[in-house]
Structure 1
């Protein structure tokens, strides 16, 4: 895949996923619930609901438990896809993009991981406890392969999601019924360590606004997350994470497999 295509896709995905309704769509290509009138059941009070481990009616109760719940739930499915897209808009009108994508077929022990920062694109394909790597930088392509155990937990996206559990204080849960079960929406009230989330040397004084939203499926995995940052100098950052294609994702050998296997 051409690096420029990947970067462009990242920007488009952030724009498309910016609305909550998109994040609340079904797994994979399932659309958001329609507006067809149905019998509305009596709402269950928050205090009577059973929340996933680590969560409660008033936010994230235990960040470590919530992170573990996400990993254990996602790795319990036969397959899934995790995607994390970032768009950074400079005060001078320039844009940068970053995309991270994993397609995981746990039933067959295969996965394809992609990381693109706008300069270098790195692909890692996992099969039979071995990882095959392609790195694309400009017109240069390099390949290698090495033994590596298929690690399910590291492909669940927690390197991007854990900071949103640890360093954000959330308000009351908002239950949302979808075609695929109940999703709990949590909206940030305070970001305690913005620099840790952004992996940058930035102080709270430099940030004009920092808004975070989590969408937690009743089964326990983080179905979607979004944060939007605006700094005092007018630059901005939008990031969107999604888990989808549950039980439907297929992973096949990439066309560069033979070069890496040599």
Structure 2
């Protein structure tokens, strides 16, 4: 059977709670509008050279400098927010037109110690809801459902998606960083030059012999969390 990874994305999106001062500035109050100044000619800002930029720990102008440090930076930044979401999707297409899909999603409310974790492989969907150091599990397979609950300490770090992102840091060699300005700060785009162990990044039932090509794109926010990743 001829299979190839069509699109795989891993996206870490920060969602801040209402009233957070990081969105509004100062004490969170909405600033009063100020008079619009008269327009004056402005010069185009000179781009800052890569070697003069401050990159998140673990990264540099020429790629990922230390995979372990970069992974730790992602976790530390994500868990430093009041709340966040992480989503990972993969679809593997076969030569006969059928698809195998997998979705992993977390939604974390760290301030209140609550979180939802979801895994869906197209056949079985597993929901895990964390609250008050207890996890409630619901497993759905077709028309059948099963429930369970057990004590488990709430751990924000394990819900940041690193089980999917760490291989992209460790087993890929990236080229020069490309700064991209956004409304939420600068994002650095890294494009792969060589993937050293593609089979480690993909799911266990895909062999390297089945992979036609492998390219990775990594989007790293200036704060240090991985905002997005794509490999095809």
Same fold (TM over 0.5): yes
- Unaligned stretches of 5+ in structure 2? none
Aligned to 2:182: 178
TM-score, scaled to structure 1:
0.72
CA distance in 2: counterparts of 1:32 and 1:204, whole angstroms:
58
Aligned residues of 1:3 and 1:121 also touching (Cα < 8 A): no
> 1:102 touches 1:113 (CA, 8 Å); kept in 2?
yes
* CA contact 1:52–1:69 (8 Å) conserved in 2: yes
Select the structure of larger CA radius of gyration.
2
Distance (whole Å) between structure 2 residues aligned to residue 6 and residue 29 of structure 1: 46
Query: In structure 2, what is the Cα distance between the partners aligned to 1:222 and 1:207?
Result: 25
Q: Point out the structure with the larger helix share.
A: 1
1:24–1:32 contact (8 Å) kept in structure 2: no
What is the RMSD of the two structures over their aligned residues, measured on CA atoms?
8.3
- Asked whether the equivalents of residues 16 and 81 of structure 2 are also in contact (C-alpha less than 8 Å), the reply is no
Moved more, 88-97 or 189-198: 88-97
Contact 1:11-1:86 within 8 A present in 2 as well: no
Cα gap change, 1:19 to 1:119, in 2 (>3 Å): farther
Structure 2 CA distance for partners of 1:3 and 1:221, relative to 1, 3 Å: same
Deviation at 1:100, TM superposition (A): 0.6
Change in CA separation of 1:90 and 1:202 when aligned onto 2, cut-off 3 Å: closer
8 Å contact 1:167–1:192 — kept in the other structure? yes
| 8 Å Cα contact 1:110-1:128 kept in structure 2 | yes
SS of the aligned residue for 1:196 comes to helix
Equivalent pair of 1:212/1:225 in contact (CA under 8 Å): yes
Unaligned runs of 5+ in 1: 228-262
The separation in 2 between residues aligned to 1:102 and 1:4, in whole angstroms, is 26
Shift of residue 17 of structure 1?
24
TM-score by length of 2: 0.80
Deviation at 1:18, TM superposition (A): 30
Aligned length: 227
SS in 1 for 2:72: helix
Distance 1:127 1:90, change over 3 A: same
Alpha-carbon shift at residue 88 of structure 1 (Å): 1.1
CA, structure 1 residues 13+215, in 2 after alignment: closer, same or farther (shift >3 Å)? closer
Q: Whole-Å Cα distance in 2 between the matches of residues 39 and 177 of structure 1?
A: 18
Superposed displacement of residue 37, structure 1: 13
CA distance change for structure 1 residues 5 and 211 in 2, over 3 Å: closer, same or farther?
A: closer
Deviation at 1:199, TM superposition (A): 3.1
